[in-house]
Structure 1
Amino acid sequence: MAQEGTGLPPAVGAEPGSRSQAGAEPERAAGLAGESCAEHGLELGWFCAAHRRPVCAQCARLGGCRGHRVTALAEKAADLRNKIVDQCEKLQLQSAAITKYMAEVLPGKNQSALSAASWAREVVIQRLIFVRNVCENEEQRLLEKVHAEEERTHQSILTQRAHWTESLQKLSALRTYLVDMITNLDDHGLVHAEQEIFERTEAAEGILEPQESEKLNFNQKCVQSPLLHQLWASAVLSCATGLEEVHVDEKTVSPLLALSEDKKTLVFSPKKTKPYPDCPERFDHWPNALGTKAFHKGTHAWRISVDKSCAYKLGISYGSLQRKGPGNAARLGYNPCSWVFSRYDKEFRFSHNSQHQAVELVKCPAQVGVLVDLDGGEVLFYDPTACVILHSHREAFTAPIYPVFAVADQSISLVQ
């Protein structure tokens, strides 16, 4: 018989006292009370692992579960009870761990969070107090310098006014004297007074004409402050609300460049594969492009991601910048119309009107911020990640300016 080796139930109708009949009694005892097989009418005393359901002995031996692995239902139920007991023990241990965590860890975490938050507030307050005090002291120092420069300029103007008033009086007196000589002296008297006339005229010739003097102008450099410069640039370029929404003007993009759909990324392509229609605004030789919007006054800032490129130029230019040909008139930094910060491999520099100034950097910036103050006459290039001013240049701008870009390696992207 196969019952003992395979787990099959004994054959239905086996002889009493035989090995099969001895196993049949437990089957009936272990069957589902009140439930029987719909097909064979026998008790469901076995469990089919394949069908995952109770079956009768006939189903297991000859029916749909023939050849499947079957076990006594009581054995299956006992195994399931053991698993449930194990699961209950796990749940109890899990509940105990959670209870202990809630009782012991969370209160400590809560206290730790309160302490950390209190410390963080104190740090913020103390640092801002320090920054505020430094700013107030710097404000006082700079205002005093402004006042002193204003007083110096005022005194210089008063001194000049007094000097030239005295000179006018001398010239007026000399003129009156000369008119009197001509009017009242006869020929003999006029000739006799020649030496006196010569001496007085010679004294008048020592009074020079007024000349432009820097002493009469307010010196704007008196308010130059590295601290204020750094704080101002950091405040504008490190704050997203201070940045302009800048896009590249597709009409100006060189055929050497490909412009992304969002008008923010320029990709260099040395073979001029981009089929842009020709127009007067487009650069046809240098890999340049302008921004869409011109700035007429005020302070404006934007950031460019440059970490993918080893050859680029960023800055500003007048709208009158030449667009056609290989000459310097269209080359950024080589004419009076453009001011750019550039990188070529490991070399960085600022260029304007063919004047180049090397910029020494410890590391290559991942982003470059451009900050232009049209009213104050300054363009500034900034590393927003390191909070470092890369270069600044003062210029009295005479026309609206445009953001300008050039890239000769990989790509650069405007950051918003």
Structure 2
Amino acid sequence: MQQSMASAARELVIQRLGLVRSLCETEEQRLLERVHGEEERAHQSILTQRVHWAEALQKLDTIRTSLVDMLTHTDDLQLIQKEQEIFERAEEAEGILDPQESKKLNFNETCAWSPLLTQLWATAALGSLSGTEDVRIDERTVSPFLQLSDDGRTLTFNAKKSKACADGPERFDHWPNALAATSFQSGLHAWMVNVQNSCAYKVGVALGQLPRKGSGSDSRLGHNAYSWVFSRYDQEFCFSHGGQHVPLGLLRCPAQLGVLLDLQAQELLFYDPTSGTVLHTHHASFPGPLFPVFAVADQTISIVH
């Protein structure tokens, strides 16, 4: 009986792996065909531009020769009489310099985007990387409205400001924020946050120069150029950066939130591991090392290890 169950389980694993492999191969072929088609289109656009500018150069050279000859061999009285002709030739030269099909030279990066590939990649990356990195919160940065657990992984919101926290340059003194102790400058990184107990939180990444003091937008996560965050407030979810907020129409509240940071691809991805859903993907040219960042204004959130 046990051997039969084991054999059935083995066959199920092989069947599902075969299906995933087949899906990946089909998607790979589709994406490669789209990228190849885009390369061909861009290449033809470049060739068209080369022909256009070669012809333009020849026309400009002809106009230049004509104007130089006119200015060199024509007396002042005749030049006055030819003023309109000179103006028309100059205007013709300006028209030749207008670019042709310049917008078509832009490579369409979305041709390489695949929801299936992104989801499979996020699942595999988070499954293998999550918990391998020891992401802990830097106690020196923790807002006086938050309490940090002894293991440095759980933040609990307190409506009453704590007087026990010694103020310092690293500490957030108004918004309920906290930074991780470790920053990432290159490579692929993943961490998971348990958010099921909170109805008001922010999770994401921030630059080390994120301001820590005052109630202004400079130190409010997602409202400045220093932070990129996924946030929840009651039943509303959004991605925020630089004061721009992208609403996310989620059908269910994630119990855990996976964060995937690919610094080679300059991509930040948020993921629901329970449903296997990519919640949001953001591409940016991050200007420096990034710290995991957190905020909580209701109950508790904690880094899963």
Write the letter of the residue equivalent to 2:193. Answer: I
The structure with the largest alpha-carbon Rg is 1
How far did 1:252 drift? 0.7
Change (3 A) 1:282 1:136: same
Cα separation, 1, equivalents of 2:82 and 2:247: 69
How far did 1:358 drift? 2.5
CA deviation string 1:27-59 (max 9, x = no partner) = xxxxxxxxxxxxxxxxxxxxxxxxxxxxxxxxx
1:160 and 2:49 correspond: yes
Q: Is the 8 A contact 2:183 2:290 kept in 1?
A: yes
Cα separation, 2, equivalents of 1:373 and 1:212: 34
Cα separation, 1, equivalents of 2:36 and 2:234: 47
Change (3 A) 1:213 1:290: farther
CA deviation string 1:93-112 (max 9, x = no partner) = xxxxxxxxxxxxxxxxxxx2
User: Greater share of strand residues, 1 or 2?
Assistant: 2
Q: Which residue of 1 aligns with 2:303?
A: 414
Q: Is the 8 A contact 1:236 1:243 kept in 2?
A: no
Cα separation, 2, equivalents of 1:364 and 1:241: 20
Identity of aligned residues (%): 61
Q: Is the 8 A contact 1:311 1:343 kept in 2?
A: yes
TM-score under structure 1 length normalisation: 0.68
1:344 and 2:233 correspond: yes
Q: Which residue of 1 aligns with 2:221?
A: 332
Give the total of aligned pairs.
305
1:130 is paired with a residue whose SS is helix
Which 5+ residue runs of structure 2 have no aligned equivalent? none
Q: Which residue of 2 aligns with 1:41?
A: none
Among 259, 266, 269, the residue aligned to 2:148: 259
Write the letter of the residue equivalent to 2:52. Answer: H
Higher RCO (Cα < 8 Å, 6 or more apart)? 2
Cα separation, 2, equivalents of 1:409 and 1:188: 87
How far did 1:320 drift? 1.7
Cα separation, 2, equivalents of 1:393 and 1:307: 23
Q: Is the 8 A contact 1:259 1:266 kept in 2?
A: yes
Q: Is the 8 A contact 1:334 1:355 kept in 2?
A: yes
Cα separation, 2, equivalents of 1:212 and 1:156: 7
Write the letter of the residue equivalent to 1:311. Answer: A
Q: Is the 8 A contact 1:237 1:243 kept in 2?
A: no
How far did 1:247 drift? 0.9
Of 380-389 and 178-187, deviating more is 178-187
CA deviation string 1:108-152 (max 9, x = no partner) = xxxx22222222222111211111111011111111111111121
CA deviation string 1:4-41 (max 9, x = no partner) = xxxxxxxxxxxxxxxxxxxxxxxxxxxxxxxxxxxxxx
Q: Which residue of 2 aligns with 1:364?
A: 253
Cα separation, 1, equivalents of 2:279 and 2:84: 68
Change (3 A) 1:225 1:195: same
1:379 and 2:268 correspond: yes
Of 226-235 and 205-214, deviating more is 205-214
Alignment of 1:138-149 (within 5 A): 138-149=27-38
Cα separation, 2, equivalents of 1:285 and 1:211: 54
Q: Which residue of 2 aligns with 1:114?
A: 3
Q: Which residue of 1 aligns with 2:96?
A: 207
Of 349-358 and 173-182, deviating more is 349-358
Q: Which residue of 2 aligns with 1:96?
A: none
CA deviation string 1:318-347 (max 9, x = no partner) = 112110001111111111221211122222
1:234 and 2:123 correspond: yes
Cα separation, 2, equivalents of 1:360 and 1:385: 17
Q: Which residue of 1 aligns with 2:138?
A: 249
Alignment of 1:3-42 (within 5 A): none
Q: Is the 8 A contact 1:306 1:412 kept in 2?
A: yes
Cα separation, 2, equivalents of 1:214 and 1:270: 53
1:174 and 2:63 correspond: yes
Q: Is the 8 A contact 1:258 1:274 kept in 2?
A: no
How far did 1:394 drift? 2.4
1:279 and 2:161 correspond: no
1:239 is paired with a residue whose SS is helix
Q: Is the 8 A contact 1:373 1:379 kept in 2?
A: yes
